[in-house]
Each structure stands twice: as C-alpha cells, then as structure tokens.
A and B are shown apart, each in its own frame.
Chain A
Amino acid sequence: MTVYVLRRLLSSLLLVWGVLTVTFFVVDLAPGDPVDLWVGPETTIEDVERLRQAYGLDQPAPVRYVRWLGSVLQGDLGISLTRQRPVAEILADAVPRTLQLTIAALILHFGVGTALGLWWSRRRDRFGSRATDVVSLVLYSLPAFWLGLMLQLLFSYHLRWLPSGGTPIAALDEVGLGVWLVDQVRHLAMPVFVLGLAGTASVARVLRSSILQTLQEDYVRTARAKGLDPGTVFGKHAFRPASVSLVTLIGLGIPFLLSGAVATEVVFGWPGMGRVTVEALLARDHPVILATTAVSAVMVVVGNLLADLAYAWVDPRIRTRT
C-alpha cells in the first residue's frame, strides 16, 4: 500500500509541474501584449519600457518561466495587473469561496445522488424507472448558467424568496445562530443547487448501473441461497461492492465541478475563483489568469490523488494486494 501511495504521489507531483509549465507557456504565447492595457494617449515609450521592466516583461520566455516557477514555489504569484494586489491574496480570498460551493455540491452529489440511485435501482415498475431515467438525463442536459438565470427569475424576481446572488451577509457574532443559518442557506441554495445538479444525476445513474450489474453476480445468488432477506441482500451484499465505483466519481467530478463553478459564480455574482478568472480573462490580466488556471489544475490533480487513495482504501482487494 505504501508503495502505491508513494508512486501516486510522485506522478502527481510530476503532473503538477507539467500543469504549471503548460499554463505558463500557453498564456505567454498568447497574442496580445498586456502592456497595451495601460497605454493611454499620454504614455510615452519610456514609460512603457519602464513598466515592462518593472513587471519583468522584457526578459526572454525561458528566463521568465524559471523566475515565475521559482516565485510560485515560494508562494509569490505576482501582482494583478488590473487590481494592483498580490495575486496570492486575491486567490486566498477567492479559493475558499469556490471550495465552499464545491464541497457543498459534493455533499449534494453523494447524499442525494446515492439515495436517488438506491431508490431507483429498487424500482420495479418500468414507468417509474423510465421516468427517472429521463429526468436524470434532462438534469444532466441543462446549461448551468441558464438554469441559474431561470432560477433567479423565479425565486429572486418573482417570488422574492431568495437573494439573486452574492455571499451571505450576516456575521455570526452579530446575529443569532438561527438567523445566520438561514442567511447562509438562502445565499447558498441556488448556487449549490445549480452546481451540484448535473453531478447528482450522474451519481444516481452510475450507482444504479453499478448495482444492477452487481445484482447479476454469483455472490448475490449465494447471499440469497443463505436465506438472507431481500433488504440485506440488496443493501449489504449488492450495495457494498457497487458503492466502490462511486469513489472514482469523486475524482472524475472535480474538474467538472471547477468548470461548473465558473458558470455558477458568474451568474450569481459569487466571488470565487471562477468569477475571478473570467474577469481576469476579459481584462487580459496575465498573472491572475496564470495563477487561477494553474491552481485549478493543481486542485484537480490533488483531488484525483485523494480519490485514488480513497478508492484503494475502500476496495479491499487493492488494499491488501499492493
């Protein structure tokens, strides 16, 4: 097991390095000069050159790459061109916000998704099963940003039940726990719902398919032959092996969640990494773009690593063999 962990760790590190490198060169090779943003009618050529030097933009690419890499490893992600703040600070604010949504969405996935998947696999009637199939596919086909807009239309503008966006306002030390909770829920409800919807449908589908397959296995027949009641056969002997497949979904789901977060944050004005990225892209803010893309990719790698380790731990076969 330890060998496996070490190997995975090593390949993850290599992957992170690859990610950083690719990100740097893609952003770097992009047409367009960031300096153009600051050029006004009165800017002189000397000014431009000075700005260039200040931001280190006058050095050749490989040099800049190494310097950038070095500073990243030290935690310095540069200064935002548009906001004049250290990028690391911007991210320190934004990343937890995104994580808030992402983790809540994951809980939704595996809570509701699993329950739905279980319920669905037990359904005997063809109509119920079919209907769930269609519904889950429809959920999977919705564009997140549009769904967000429609929900805003309904819940914020027409019904006025929920705020149309933004982060929770109430601070815990000022109001009571009840009010604080309600405020959290009201602000999180729509974004988390939108973000988590597709994944929940996905989890339910995968789990159902996995369970149905497991039910065909010989060992389920053995469980019945032992005289166990249907509930135990299904819930213990079929579900346990089938649930292992769910863990892989976590790993696969992370990149989708991060992508989805972009759309969700933009629509609901949630100040997370996604929104920061989009704003930076529209403003050609290179250091920020670099940082957010790299960070998101690193998150994916880390997430996959954790998921792989979790899988190895959950599937006893791998745990004892490696």
Chain B
Amino acid sequence: MWIVGTALGPILLIVHGVEAVDLLLGRDGATGLVAGWGAIAWGVLGSRAGVRDRARRVWRRLDDPLARAGAVLCLGLVFVAVFAPLLSIHAPDVLGDPVADRYAPPSAEHWMGTDLLGRDLYSRVVHGARVSLGIAVASVVISVGLGLGVGAVAAWTGGFVDGLLMRLTDLALAFPRLFLVLLLVAFVEPGPAWIVLALGGTGWMGIARVVRGQVLQQREVEYVLAARALGLGETAVVVRHVLPAILPPVLALSTLRVGSAILAESFLSFIGLGVQDPWVSWGMLIRSGRDTLLDAWWLALFPGTAIVLTVLGFNLLGDGLRDALDPRPAPGTGTLDD
C-alpha cells in the first residue's frame, strides 16, 4: 500500500520522460523546479520507515471513516497542487488551434474539454489548484497568526486590554465577511497577494475567540500555576505549556477555515475582483465559463466540482479533527424505548 503512495511522485516524473530533465534543471520555471524536486523528495521520504510510522500513528488517531476520507481528499489535493506541472498534460496557457480546438467538449485528448482559446481545461484546473489552494492556505496562516495573537494576549493580560480586544473582535464580526473582503480588495491592484491579505485579515475573529477561551481555561490549570510558581517567565509559560494545549482545537478550526477561504476566493475571482490573468484560479475559470454556460457547460462544471471536492475534503477533515478532540457523547444508539 505504502509503496504505491510513495512511488507516485517519482512515477509521475518518469512518465514525463525527457521533459523531466527540463523540469529538474529549472528550465521550465520555478514551479516546475519545485514540482520536479518535490517528486523526488516525496519518494525519498516515503521510503523511510520512521516517516511512515509517524504517518501511521497520526492516521490511527482519526478513526472516523469520514474524517479519513476527508484527510485523503485533502492530501490528494495538496498533492495535485504541488505537483501540478507533472500532472497536467499541456501547459495551462498553451493555445490550441483557434478554429479546430476551441470549445471542444470533453474527450480522450482533452479530459475536461477546451475553452475559447483552445486551452486544455484539465491542465488549467490542475494549475488552478495551486493558486486556489495556495491562496486559501496562506490566508488561513495569517488568520491563525492574528487570531492566536489577539486571543492569547487578550486572555493572558485580561482586564482592560481583554475588553478592548474583544470589542474590536465584535466590531470586525459585525461586518459580513464578504463585504469586508470586497471592500479591501476592490480598491487595490488585483493580485493574489492582496487577496491573501484581505482574506487573512477578515478570518481571524473566530479563531481569536476560541484561542481566548482555551487560554483562559489553561491559565487556571494546575500545571500552569505550578510552572509560574517555579518562576518561569510569563512568555515561557505561555509558549511551552499553554500553546501546545490550545493547538488541537485551533488546528481543527483552521482546517475548516481553509474551506471557507477557498469559497471566498473563488467568488472574488468569479466577479472579477480576484485572481487575474495569467494566474489561473478555479473561480476565475468559472467566470469565463459563465457566458457560454449553455454551449460549453464543461467550462463551469469542472472547476466548480474541483472546488466542491476540495472544500468537502477540508470540511470532513476539520469536522473529524474537532470530533476527535472534543469528548464526544456516546453515539446516540442508546434506545429510548425499552
């Protein structure tokens, strides 16, 4: 089983034959470089027993089949995103014959059909995974950073600072997220960087609240009091004892937030305020498919399905993580009628 998983990367590399050399030498650009060497690294890592054991242990923790399915989906998508150049058949911007190839429905040659300019949709979707996923993950990293900061400081300091930070959080929460994001994005140069910032800057509130709650709890826990009694500096206590304890729920929450970040970014791109040419994102692909919905339905269907699968994967995983961490009530099989 693991042999298959491990060899996947190198196999892809080999499949490309001669082109693989180009990729590895960086002749096809930075992304190709990363993908090529990444495939090799993947193979190397997978062959090490130590790595496999740790993976197995983590896997065992997630005992819900749905959560596992989610994890598989997520991993699969990350795989696709990282190794996009290896997985796509044509480069995403290769123009096909303007007459013969445009708006071709899905076929053996073009798995997902082509668009107006004869570009292969499958390859574009695969490359879109990098952008969509990349933006979403980056924005969640920012949100988590902000949320941790605000929540931890608020809970640890208490008093006036706590009140102030919480009022600020309430204020930020009063805006429907999309409105705020649109507001932030509409007035700047379109581009992934701003999108990441806008999404990151509007998604930290929920995390901050959770972190604050957890830190408040942890403050009173005995080992923390003990550590403080021993004279450990405040920051040391927070970092070494409190943070590890609050990490699991934050992890679960951030997985869920990746899903909503993907949805948000795709909408932005759909209305034209998100990712622009030459970058490709799923939302953007749907946008170009909108006008020809009736004739070239595949242009909107496939990118959308990709979004659904991705978000579903993250939601399943996030849900599973959250359930694995909270003490769950025994599943409701207790009968009421006996």
Contact = CB atoms under 8 A, between A and B. Distances in A.
Interface stretch (B18-26, B74-82, B135-143, B289-297): B289-297
B126 interface: no
A259 B264 CA distance: 10
Contacts of A289: 183, 186
A182 B289 CA distance: 31
A141 B312 contact: yes
Interface stretch (B9-17, B108-116, B166-174, B227-235): B166-174
Contact of A296 (B175, B188, B290, B331): B175
B149 interface: no
B171 A266 contact: no
A27 B186 CA distance: 10
Nearest to B69: A134
Interface stretch (A50-58, A73-81, A87-95, A275-283): A275-283
Interface stretch (B38-46, B54-62, B211-219, B265-273): B265-273
Given A32-B187, A130-B66, A212-B332, A149 B293 contact: yes
A45 interface: no
Given A31-B188, A293-B183, A296-B176, A141 B315 contact: yes
Contacts of B301: 150
B175 A146 contact: no
B307 A233 contact: no
A304 B175 CA distance: 12
A281 B273 contact: yes
B129 interface: no
Interface residues of B, number: 51
Contacts of B333: 124
Nearest to B319: A137
B332 A258 contact: no
A153 B293 contact: yes
Given A143-B304, A150-B301, A150-B304, A26 B329 contact: no
Interface string A286-311: 00010011001100110010000000
A142 B310 CA distance: 10
A141 B177 contact: no
Interface residues of A, number: 59
Given A282-B272, A297-B175, A121 B332 contact: yes
Contacts of A234: 336
A162 interface: no
Given A153-B297, A157-B293, A215 B308 contact: no
Contacts of B177: 255, 259
A224 interface: yes
B66 A133 contact: yes
Contact of A15 (B174, B187, B294): B174
Given A30-B188, A149-B290, A258-B178, 12 more contacts: A19-B171, A31-B187, A137-B312, A137-B315, A142-B311, A146-B266, A146-B300, A153-B300, A212-B331, A289-B186, A296-B179, A297-B179
Interface of A: 15, 18-19, 22-23, 26-27, 30-32, 121, 124, 130, 133-134, 137-138, 140-146, 149-150, 152-153, 157, 211-213, 215-216, 224, 229-230, 233-234, 255-256, 258-259, 262-263, 266, 277-278, 281-282, 284, 289, 292-293, 296-297, 300-301, 304
The 4 closest A-B pairs by CB, nearest first: A30-B187, A259-B178, A146-B304, A141-B311
18 contacts: A18-B167, A124-B333, A138-B312, A142-B308, A143-B267, A149-B300, A150-B301, A153-B297, A215-B329, A216-B334, A259-B177, A281-B186, A289-B186, A293-B183, A297-B175, A297-B176, A300-B173, A300-B174
